[in-house]
Chain A
């Protein structure tokens, strides 16, 4: 099974900060990676797919990069509505797997 390790697991940041979250895969997955945002009590929301393609309607301050085993999600200028938990997901092989999540909280 492909393991996804997200870091950090917790992040405290201020509005306007640049934030970077890393997702490392235990084996190469090409660009078969997606990123989601989840707020408390809500279903996850797709942000980025194919490692770097922004889902329609998602603000351009979100961006993704990487391929193979190392990926990053960057928020260029953190906004109040961005405080949430972020997950990566690999879709290269079954079983599909998610990273453990990164909780972004207000400093």
Chain B
């Protein structure tokens, strides 16, 4: 059974940093690109970032480019999102998502971890 378990969310001050983790199980992690998608309270879904299966390619939304870094550790079956220079508008539930195939639509999602950026 595919499972994605996010952790690392919490309350952080503007300008601060946070690292999110997503522990994956139930599938061959090393063969799938992985993504982060966020949802601000009461708002819609926003794609944040994707990393290729081998980790050599990364893609970011313009809203986070230069501040967030996606990475993965295949030995630990874990996906990460390093978030720096956080802003109030980064407050959201962050979901880890697995694509169905080489096409990046998502057949499995984690439960999400809440990030709140506030002083």
Interface, chain A (partner B; CB < 8 A): 1, 32, 34, 36, 38, 43-46, 49-50, 55, 87, 89, 91, 94-101
Please tell me the size bucket of the interface on B.
20 to 34
Q: Which of A49, A55, A96, A100 contacts B44 (CB 8 A)?
A: A100
Question: Who on chain B is nearest to A55 by CB?
Answer: B107
For B41-63 the 0/1 string (1 means CB < 8 A from A) is 00011110010000000011110
Q: 27 interchain pairs (CB within 8 A)?
A: A1-B62, A32-B103, A34-B105, A43-B109, A43-B112, A44-B45, A44-B95, A44-B109, A45-B109, A46-B100, A46-B105, A46-B106, A46-B107, A49-B103, A50-B103, A87-B45, A89-B45, A91-B103, A91-B104, A94-B59, A95-B47, A96-B50, A98-B44, A98-B45, A98-B46, A98-B47, A101-B45
